[in-house]
Amino acid sequence: MYAVIKTGGKQYKVAAGEKIKVEQIAADVGQEIVIEQVLALGAGADLQIGTPWVAGASVKATVLAHGKHDKVRIFKMRRRKHYQKHGGHRQTYTELQIASVDGATSA
CB 106 within 8 A of CB 45: no
pLDDT of residue 103: 83
* Angle formed at CA 47 by CA 46 and CA 52, multiple of 5 degrees: 160
Domain boundaries, the chain: 2-102
For residue 74, the SS3 value is: strand
- Distance CA(47)–CA(99), nearest Å, equals 20
Q: How far is CA 13 from the centre of its chain?
A: 9
pLDDT of residue 107: 47
**pLDDT tens digits in sequence order for the chain, 107 residues long:** 999 999 999 999 999 999 999 999 999 999 999 999 999 999 888 999 999 999 999 999 999 999 999 999 999 999 999 999 999 999 999 999 999 999 865 54
Count CB atoms within 10 A of the CB of residue 28. Answer: 8
